[in-house]
Amino acid sequence: MQYECIAGLETHIELATKTKIFCGCTTKFGGEPNTHCCPVCTGMPGALPRLNRRVIEYAVLAGLATHCTVRLASRMARKNYSYPDLPKAYQITQHDRPLCENGYLTLDSGRRVRIRRIHIEEDAGKLIHEGGRTRIDYNRAGVPLIEVVTEPDLRSAQEAREFVEKLRRLARCLGISDCRMQEGSLRCDVNLSVRPAGSETPGVRTEIKNMNSLAHLERAMTYEWERQIRLLERGEPVAQETLRYNEREGTTAPMRGKEDARDYRYFCEPDLPEIRIPARWVEEWRAALPELPEERLERYRAMGLPDAAAQQLCEYRRVGEYFDQAAKGVGNPREVANCILGPFFAALGGEEEKEAFGVPVPPEELRRLVLLLESGRLPRAVLKKTLEQMLASGRPASDFLREEDLQRLSGEELARACRAAVQANPGAANDVRAGKKKAIQALVGAVMRETRGRASAREAGELLAEMLRETPGVCEKC
């Protein structure tokens, strides 16, 4: 029997506000345990919350960018459950009146994934399990989140990954979150069931909690999908339960029974008033939306960039903005993209450095070098080497480019360099004469070294091939 995967996501995104959602404590990642907290975020008796206005703005921006309807009047609620990382024994969140509703994101296939709601809430603390003991760090407690809840519109692990990638790119573009999954600022819960292909009756749903890696998300969904099919094929029921993903074994395992909304005993938060947003604020925020990733991606494709390069440039907002400045007036924008995705990305470390993109090469300087390349005055190898030196030292191109680097190599100079390469590498020359075409690359490399990259690799290869066809073989032992 053929089965169909039915999945929906609940994606938690930590917002990049300077302070927490209900107090003035910093949201900065790290720090000594329990040093970024106060009586409000640790739930001390008598401490009252006060809503951070910036949280509302960031959540509305996310809603506008995903085609949601924004509620001008919403409210907070208490979600009651007892767990060590939740000091109040309840979480302040939204329930029946979320901030944003009924939006969507479009997959590359053109199919829309409906977004049921986007609501704001506070994060819990962090449990640290070491040496058979569990410790609690409340630094993260009270950090503001938005939760993006989809309808069960996803049909594969690959679609789920694509949705999260698009959502992450969107949040970074809006500047509302860094979405560093390794730091927990983007986490997913997956609700998944299977049903016979063509059936309209949903299967029994399980929930996989706290996916903090795109690779783990795909593996966990694939395993759970196959596990449920095996149970159904054996005539065994699928239990409705909450699961954790075992990264080492690549399997899912039960944590507890699956909760329903009634288990949390939601009620209106008595310590916070109703949230009322002036309509003019929403329109001001809508007008301030930047060019969104999908719009930028289409523009880059129209400029002739390969799809993979265009997507990489859209991943980080500052990278895209830098590219736009550097590519102004350039004949072939792919040359600028190659510089950014090559030497620039190689010089940067991880995700955090790429996001900040604090490179010491001004976009105008990169544009000037690429224009020199397009004019034929600057060989590509010299461009690459110069950029690497600039990135390593922070010094301008003028400190590394010599006058001869900007002069075209004459035909006689190229011929002289090719003859010198053949004489210095008789083994490679004989291999070329014997029909081993790849051997010519060693000779081209020798020419490039001899000319400090000023030669055209294509022209050097053509001239070397012509020379070796016209000259007899040479025995290396003679």
Vertex 66, ends 63 and 69: CA angle to 5°? Answer: 50
Average pLDDT, the chain: 91
Examine the pLDDT at 478 and tell me if it is beyond 70. Answer: no
Can you spell out the DSSP letters for 93-156?
A: E--SS-SEEEEEEE-TTS-EEEEEEEEEEE---EEEEETTEEEEEGGGTT-EEEEEEE-S-B-S
Q: Cα 106 to chain center, whole Å?
A: 17
455-467 average pLDDT score: 83
Q: Cα 94 to chain center, whole Å?
A: 27
Which DSSP letter does residue 303 get? T
What's the pLDDT at 477? 40
Whether 326 contacts 336, CB under 8 Å: yes
What's the pLDDT at 407? 62
Vertex 29, ends 184 and 147: CA angle to 5°? Answer: 40
Pairing of strands 186-196, 3-14: antiparallel
Per-residue pLDDT tens digits for 55-89 = 999 999 999 999 999 999 999 999 998 889 999 99
Q: Bridge-partner residues for 7, per DSSP?
A: 154, 192
Whether 65 contacts 168, CB under 8 Å: no
442-446 average pLDDT score: 88
Examine the pLDDT at 258 and tell me if it is beyond 70. Answer: no
Which pair of structure tokens corresponds to residue 243?
């699961």
The residue ranges of every structural domain in the chain are 3-281, 291-406, 411-470
Q: How far apart are CA 376 and CA 200, in angstroms?
A: 63
What's the pLDDT at 380? 82
Per-residue pLDDT tens digits for 393-421 = 999 988 888 766 666 667 787 888 899 99
Per-residue pLDDT tens digits for 330-354 = 999 999 999 999 999 999 978 889 9
- pLDDT: is 467 or 71 the higher one? 71
Longest dimension (CA), the chain: 97
CATH 3.40.1710 assigned to 411-470: no
What's the pLDDT at 217? 96
Q: How far apart are CA 175 and CA 65, in angstroms?
A: 12
Whether 187 contacts 181, CB under 8 Å: yes
What's the pLDDT at 476? 43
Which pair of structure tokens corresponds to residue 381?
């190898």
Q: Which amino acid is at 245?
A: Y
